[in-house]
Amino acid sequence: MALVGKHEAGQVGATIQQNVDFIRIGCRHGQLQRYPALLVTGVDLHLPINSRPLHYALSSGNGHLFELLLRGFASIDPNLADDEGATPLHLICSRPVDDYDDGTAESFFEICDATRRKVDVDARDSEGNSPLLLALRRNRRKLAELLLSRAADPTLANDEGTKPLDLVTKGTPLYLALENDCPTMAELLLRHGADPNLANDDGDAPLHLMCKHKDRIEDEFVRLFFWINELNTRTLAVDARNRWSRTPLHLALANEHRTMAELLIRHGADPNLADGRDGLAPLHLMCCEHEYEADFIQLFFDICEARGHAVLIDAEDKLGRTALQLALENVKPNMVDVLVNRGADLAGFALVDPNWVNGEGATPLHLICSRPKDDGTADTFFEILDELNRSVEIDARDNEGGNTPLHLAARNGHAQLVELLLRRGADPNLANDFGSTPLHFICSRAKNDELVDTLFGKLDELLTTKFLEVDAQDASGNSPLHLALKRGNEHLMELLLEHGADANLSNLNGTTPLHVIAKRGHDADKLAASFVASCDEAEEPVLVDTRDKRGRTALHLALERGHAGMARLLLENGAEANEPWPADGWRPLHVVARSRHYNADALLELLLENGADPNAATPKEGWTPLHIMTQRADDGFMLKRFFLINHALEQLVLVDAWDNEGNAPLHLALKQRRKTVAEWLLRFSTDPNLEDRDGLAPLHLMCKYGYEAKFVRLFFEICKDSDRYVLIDAKDKLGRTPLQWAVASLSLISLEILVDNGADISDNGGGAFPAKAQFDECSAIFLEQRQPPSSSSSSKTIGKELRSRVRSSALDLVQCIEQRVTASDLDGATDVVELLADLGLYEENPAEDWDFESDAEPLACRFLETYFATTADYGGGLMRLRKECSDAIVARIGAILLERFHNPFLSVVPRRDLERLPREWLAVTYGEHVLRLVKSDDDSNVD
């Protein structure tokens, strides 16, 4: 029986089984909400146990349908279990993580509360799993919090004995909540009776965990943890030891968790318990390397006194050290004062050796100098030693690189500490394991004028018996001057040079201070000027042409990076302007000609003014600077400057020099279609008839590469204005003239310009029509100029642009030639027809933009007319056309000719020509009567 949404509840006559099937199917497919009347009536459908509509809805993932069922059927038991003992709550808790939670659980409890249906939050499935256990397994934190808020029992175990409180092997739920940064869940667990003293397999209880993770657990929660346990009258095991025999207080002090340490002491932690490994009591830990101030240890004593706990101030660790000894070893004078004031025993106290070393080979003085801040501890340290008449090994080396205390103080920028150590006799020239002296460390730092001024300003006062080695080199060969310049520290550079630093010292890579400056950024010009000025003041000559291990001078590097000011300074101080690069032999002028720096033109002028050769060629390519500039993408700006500067300097520029491939600068410019550059070259007296290696003169190249009429006219105008004669009929090495290249590139206007300027179009001048290979070459150039290199240039896949260009030019080109020559010169016109055939313009299925009547017919007709007029070989003409085109196209052309010329073919074609044509083709082209005519003539001849 079909049910529809408009049915009233009283009209529903379905049987129980039909209702069950209806709901089951509707829940399974998520369609039950289409029948709202049934759902809102509250009809009791008395669903049997195996129907489980809530289970079906949850299984289909339809939370909205689940809610409709729960609200619509008051008789549905929210605790009804399926065949596996799972209630709807079990299914909800078995879903994935909270990110996919759609609020189903909250709605479930809300509806059940509103309809007074109690939900069993501790129901167990067939495996004994409770909803809380399933939620925790799925990492459903929010859901677990909700269940706990509704009094779910966290101690219920499943059939395997797994409890929610002991879900993971190494931690209880409370431990896991803390470990996974879930303070809200941890609070709920505590409020619902979770044992705060249960430990994992390592013996770590929640207190141990909180003491380890100071940064992850906020102080507010730490206080809340103690407060909730007080509220629950739970006694915290504050002295519980983990497997390493460490208590929470040991861990809190070791991790500098002051809040936790204070709370533990206030809640009764034993202040004298020593750990099982080193025998360190809490007081020992505070006196070790940890950053505890004297006020905290004072607070420690005050709390212990208030609680009646006596602190064993003279307790010894397993090495026999007291807290006082550790405070002295770690140079904590303020802590020493507190311990002494608290009654630390000095009678049997053996003073700690001030040269004692730890595992890293560091003495107390190393530890003081390693601190990020200079707090004056070193002054106190030396005062105590002076009072006790004890000496310290001030230049002791540690095991971490062989650094002395002075190295560490210099590295950390402690100006006053450096001064103190020097006054105490520290050697400023001792090198560590990497060859670095304290001065290397000072020069490696960012600017620290206080430290630099302290060292050099009081040098004579501080070093009464020693000299500061300003040229000491580290393992890489770098001197302090190298490092100061690498940092761009101009002030330090000046001080080093003033105190005798070698301005020309090279490191292991051959890098001098000048090389270092040239490698810097925007401040290189200013730094170089200051460097040279300081050297002049110190009367230290600068070797400007020193090469590094890669053969580069400072000028090379300055030019590469566009440092015009530094380059000028180097040239003024004698740098060689023609010194070649070691890698490729390029000279500075070549590099600048290729440079893209904004001030490349300034560098160009600078080099030319300082003797750079404007005609020097590169060894491999044979390029002069002019060759390189013609290939720049700046429309000839630098090239123009190049000519003007050389003109002002009265220097000759070889504008027609060939490179190693036989190209002059003008050839390169024309082949790369750099018209502005080519114009400037022509204006600066380039030979207009100069040939490249293939014999191509500029005019050949302009016609071959299809230059516009405007530029071709400009070429002739420039040559005319400068009285330079153009060999207009010159032939390249294959005998091709500019006129033939113009025809091959289908450039009608160029052809007319050439003819107007005296080009010989007759056979005596080489003829107008080039070989077919020239057409192919020009087509390839056309494609290369307009298509990416990866595209195909096959004649069968030529694009619309080339076809359009050929169609629009070919007819006009032939007509132009016809008007200028006699019939005997036109035999080469057939190559135009062959070109069209090669381009696919006579295909039986031409492209969409191909117009047979306007494109194929006129050219074919003109070809036949010309051929007939010049040779009287009609059959040969048709056969030649047929050779290039398909039969269907030739038949079409033949029909047009027949109609246009009123059957001239039949009246004038000699019999011998007819006999040469295939009879099948004649029949298709001119009809059966032509075939009969030929046949009858043959028969008559036989008779």
Q: Give the pLDDT mean for 471-500.
A: 94
CA distance 683 to 724: 11
526-580 pLDDT, tens digit each? 999 999 999 999 888 999 999 999 999 999 999 999 999 999 999 999 999 999 9
Look at residue 417 in the predicted model and tell me its pLDDT: 92
Among the ranges 6-10, 321-325, 912-916, which has the highest mean pLDDT value? 321-325
Q: What kind and span of H or E run contains 833?
A: helix 830-838
Look at residue 830 in the predicted model and tell me its pLDDT: 52
Contacts 24+ apart (CB under 8 A), 180-187: 181/216, 181/217, 182/141, 183/217, 183/218, 183/221, 184/145, 185/141, 185/144, 185/145, 185/148, 186/221, 186/225, 187/221, 187/224, 187/228
Look at residue 514 in the predicted model and tell me its pLDDT: 97
Q: 662 and 582 in one domain?
A: yes
Q: Does residue 309 sit within a domain?
A: no
What residue numbers bound the domain in which 796 lies?
715-830
Question: Confidence class of residue 137 from pLDDT cuts 50, 70 and 90?
Answer: confident
Q: 806 and 729 in one domain?
A: yes
Q: Give the pLDDT mean for 358-378.
A: 84
Q: Is residue 159 a contact partner of residue 189, using CB atoms and an 8 Å limit?
A: no
Query: Of 798, 830, 862, which residue sits at a domain end?
Result: 830
Look at residue 51 in the predicted model and tell me its pLDDT: 54
Q: Give the pLDDT mean for 285-292.
A: 80
Q: Does residue 123 sit within a domain?
A: no
Question: Confidence class of residue 688 from pLDDT cuts 50, 70 and 90?
Answer: very high
Q: Give the pLDDT mean for 669-694.
A: 91
Q: Does residue 502 sit within a domain?
A: no
Look at residue 865 in the predicted model and tell me its pLDDT: 52
Q: 879 and 809 in one domain?
A: no
Query: Of 810, 830, 850, which residue sits at a domain end?
Result: 830
Q: Give the pLDDT mean for 188-212.
A: 88
Q: In 3D, which of 475, 435, 438, 472 has the Cα closest to residue 456?
A: 438
Question: Confidence class of residue 646 from pLDDT cuts 50, 70 and 90?
Answer: very high
Q: Strand, helix or coil at 180? A: coil
Q: Does residue 376 sit within a domain?
A: no
Q: Give the pLDDT mean for 355-379.
A: 83
Q: In 3D, which of 232, 209, 210 has the Cα closest to residue 222?
A: 210
Question: Confidence class of residue 877 from pLDDT cuts 50, 70 and 90?
Answer: low
0.75 exceeded by pTM: no
Look at residue 458 in the predicted model and tell me its pLDDT: 76
Q: Does residue 914 sit within a domain?
A: yes
CA distance 837 to 515: 65
Q: Does residue 919 sit within a domain?
A: yes
Overall number of domains in the chain: 3
Q: Give the pLDDT mean for 607-624.
A: 94
The residue whose two tokens read 């196209």 is: 889
Q: Is residue 178 a contact partner of residue 186, using CB atoms and an 8 Å limit?
A: yes
Q: 730 and 670 in one domain?
A: no
Q: What average pLDDT does the chain have?
A: 78
Look at residue 348 in the predicted model and tell me its pLDDT: 53
What DSSP line would sit under 69-118, residue for residue? Answer: HHHH-TT--TT---TTS--HHHHHHTS--GGG--SHHHHHHHHHHHTT--
297-317 pLDDT, tens digit each? 889 999 999 988 899 998 999
* Residue predicted with more confidence, 853 or 606: 606
Question: Confidence class of residue 343 from pLDDT cuts 50, 70 and 90?
Answer: confident
CA distance 67 to 872: 100
Look at residue 72 in the predicted model and tell me its pLDDT: 76
CA distance 892 to 345: 126
Q: 884 and 810 in one domain?
A: no
Q: 850 and 819 in one domain?
A: no
Q: Is residue 681 a contact partner of residue 655, using CB atoms and an 8 Å limit?
A: yes
Q: 892 and 817 in one domain?
A: no
Look at residue 785 in the predicted model and tell me its pLDDT: 55
232-246 pLDDT, tens digit each? 888 999 999 998 899
Look at residue 805 in the predicted model and tell me its pLDDT: 54
Checking if the pLDDT of 44 tops 50, the result is no
Question: Confidence class of residue 112 from pLDDT cuts 50, 70 and 90?
Answer: very high
Q: 609 and 583 in one domain?
A: yes
CA distance 122 to 8: 39
Q: Give the pLDDT mean for 357-378.
A: 84
Q: Does residue 347 sit within a domain?
A: no
747-774 pLDDT, tens digit each? 777 778 888 888 877 655 455 556 556 6
Q: 905 and 823 in one domain?
A: no
695-735 pLDDT, tens digit each? 999 999 998 888 888 999 999 999 999 999 999 989 989 88
Q: 809 and 743 in one domain?
A: yes
Q: 864 and 887 in one domain?
A: yes
Q: Give the pLDDT mean for 808-818.
A: 55
369-415 pLDDT, tens digit each? 988 888 788 887 888 788 878 889 999 999 989 999 999 999 999 98
Q: Does residue 938 sit within a domain?
A: yes
Q: 728 and 760 in one domain?
A: yes
Checking if the pLDDT of 247 tops 90, the result is yes
Please report, for the domain that includes residue 632, its CATH number. Answer: 1.25.40.20
The residue whose two tokens read 């002395």 is: 404
3-class DSSP string for 517-568: HHCCCCCHHHHHHHHHHHHHHCCCCCCCCCCCCCCCCHHHHHHHCCCHHHHH
Q: Give the pLDDT mean for 773-786.
A: 60
Question: Confidence class of residue 432 from pLDDT cuts 50, 70 and 90?
Answer: very high
Q: Is residue 573 a contact partner of residue 542, using CB atoms and an 8 Å limit?
A: yes
